[in-house]
């Protein structure tokens, strides 16, 4: 397994990162089966594991924490906070109050004294970045967190966070975790250039676009009952969701590219993400051992310019096929009350 430096931190991580979203109620509740996948991933050379407090309401962290006992010091362990963990309105977000509590909760579930990489899972439009960075800096200085990062942040907010850290004397974000795949290339427009400019690593998620690029979903094929679309079935994870017709059409063309390269679609798709110079590591999220085994070989595949040029002809650089896959939108785009003045306002 090849290694790359995570931005300018000096830490080396595997080109593939084991994502743990499928460990727990959302995927597999059998902790022993999950441990088998973790063991196989580590045996395959992966030294980087990514989870989040919200994955199966903490079950994922608990499974990962138990599985890593006795070898914790050999693993770069990442988790995230931000999403609601209860109905309490303050058990979410990126406030100091919640960050401190969320970190303690994650440390307990992960059965560890420190988190290597603690990430803000989503951009918090209601909290000052100074507040968030101040709390994260205290966690680093207390030894509970080694470094901090973001996930699915807008490029302009990444820049603002770098400036805030410099001016206020805070620890700065060392990496960003954007969605990136052949079907979701928006990060190429601004996030990747921003990461390179500030010496930040990029750890990309959903490289198979939620399952679309596994080749399992075809317009003329019945959906398997245990597939992600059948189990989750929301947003872009539906066979007839936004952009589905276009994706079905493009899959046929990508099949030809993969065949000419002597690869299956999964390997082509994962290798595509690893080909971008800004990408440090690609997160894979296998639910079964067979899925893991089908994805590990991609770390050793190098796509030549001819193959990458053909992919560019199918999906242009910087393009995202479906609006449902857009990484971040301000809440005012989704809520009309935030873009209209109240009656009687001056």
Residue 204's Cβ-side half-sphere holds a number of Cα atoms within 13 Å equal to: 32
Tell me the mean pLDDT in the region 79-102.
97
Please give, one letter per residue, the 3-state secondary structure of the chain: CCEEECCCCCCEEECEEEECCCECCCCECCHHHHHHHHHHHHHCCCCEEECCCCHHHHHHHHHHHHHCCCCHHHCEEEEEECCCCCCCCCCCCCCHHHHHHHHHHHHHHHCCCCEEEEEECCCCCCCCHHHHHHHHHHHHHCCCEEEEEEECCCHHHHHHHHHHHHHHCCCCCCEEECECCCCECHHHCCHHHHHHHCCCEEEEECCCHHHHHHCCCCCCCCCCCCCHHHHCCCCCCCCCCCCHHHHHHHHHHHHHHHHHHCCCHHHHHHHHHHCCCCEEEEEECCCCHHHHHHHHHHHHCCCCHHHHHHHHHHCCCCCECCHHHCCCCCHHHHCHHHHCCCCCCC
For the cut 60, the answer to whether the pLDDT of residue 118 exceeds it is: yes
Question: Is 210 inside a domain boundary?
Answer: yes
Which positions are annotated as active-site residues? Answer: 55
> What is the predicted pLDDT for the residue at 344?
73
Residue-number span of the structural domain to which 119 is assigned: 3-7+11-335
Rounded to the nearest angstrom, the gap between the alpha carbon of residue 286 and the centroid of all alpha carbons in its chain is 13
Query: Which of 198, 206, 173, 199 has its CA nearest to residue 273?
Result: 206
- Between 282 and 340, the more confident residue is 282
pLDDT tens for each residue of 303-346: 999 999 999 999 999 999 998 898 888 888 888 988 888 877 66
pLDDT tens for each residue of 120-158: 999 999 999 999 999 999 999 999 999 999 999 999 999
For the cut 80, the answer to whether the pLDDT of residue 212 exceeds it is: yes
Question: Is 346 inside a domain boundary?
Answer: no
Question: Is 96 inside a domain boundary?
Answer: yes
Q: Tell me the C-alpha distance between 98 and 245, whole Å.
A: 41
> What is the predicted pLDDT for the residue at 226?
56
Tally the domains of the chain: 1
For the cut 60, the answer to whether the pLDDT of residue 235 exceeds it is: no
Question: Is 283 inside a domain boundary?
Answer: yes
Question: Is 44 inside a domain boundary?
Answer: yes
Question: Is 81 inside a domain boundary?
Answer: yes
> What is the predicted pLDDT for the residue at 146?
98
pLDDT tens for each residue of 12-54: 999 999 999 999 999 999 999 999 999 999 999 999 999 999 9
Question: Is 22 inside a domain boundary?
Answer: yes
Question: Is 344 inside a domain boundary?
Answer: no
> What is the predicted pLDDT for the residue at 341?
84
For the cut 70, the answer to whether the pLDDT of residue 240 exceeds it is: no
CATH of the domain at 177: 3.20.20.100
């Amino acid at each position: 397994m090849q290694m790359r430096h995570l931005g300018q931190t000096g830490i080396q991580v595997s080109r593939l990162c084991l994502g743990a979203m499928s460990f727990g109620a959302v995927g597999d509740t059998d902790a022993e089966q999950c441990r088998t996948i973790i063991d196989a991933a580590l045996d395959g050379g992966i030294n980087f594991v990514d989870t989040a407090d919200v994955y199966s309401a903490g079950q994922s962290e608990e499974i990962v924490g138990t599985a890593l006992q006795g070898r914790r010091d050999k693993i770069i362990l990442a988790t995230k906070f931000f999403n609601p963990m209860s109905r309490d309105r303050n058990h979410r977000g990126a406030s100091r109050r919640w960050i401190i509590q969320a970190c303690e909760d994650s440390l307990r579930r992960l059965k560890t004294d420190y988190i290597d990489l603690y990430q803000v899972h989503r951009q918090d439009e209601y909290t000052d970045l100074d507040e968030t960075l101040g709390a994260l800096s205290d966690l680093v200085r207390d030894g509970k967190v080694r470094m901090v990062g973001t996930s699915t942040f807008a490029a302009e907010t990444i820049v603002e966070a770098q400036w805030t850290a410099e001016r206020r004397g805070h620890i700065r974000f060392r990496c960003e975790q954007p969605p990136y795949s052949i079907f979701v290339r928006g990060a190429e427009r601004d996030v990747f250039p921003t990461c390179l400019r500030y010496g930040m690593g990029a750890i990309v998620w959903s490289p198979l676009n939620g399952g679309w690029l596994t080749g399992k979903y075809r317009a003329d094929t019945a959906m398997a009952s245990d597939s992600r679309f059948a189990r989750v079935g929301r947003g872009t994870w539906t066979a007839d969701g936004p952009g589905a017709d276009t994706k079905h059409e493009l899959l046929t063309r990508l099949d030809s590219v993969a065949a000419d390269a002597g690869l299956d679609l999964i390997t082509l798709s994962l290798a595509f993400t690893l080909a971008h110079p800004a990408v440090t590591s690609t997160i894979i999220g296998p639910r079964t051992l067979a899925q893991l085994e089908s994805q590990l070989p991609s770390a050793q595949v190098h796509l030549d310019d001819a193959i990458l040029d053909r992919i560019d002809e199918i999906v242009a650089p910087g393009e995202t096929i479906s609006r449902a896959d857009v990484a971040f939108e301000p809440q005012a785009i989704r809520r009309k009350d935030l873009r209209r003045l109240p009656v009687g306002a001056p």
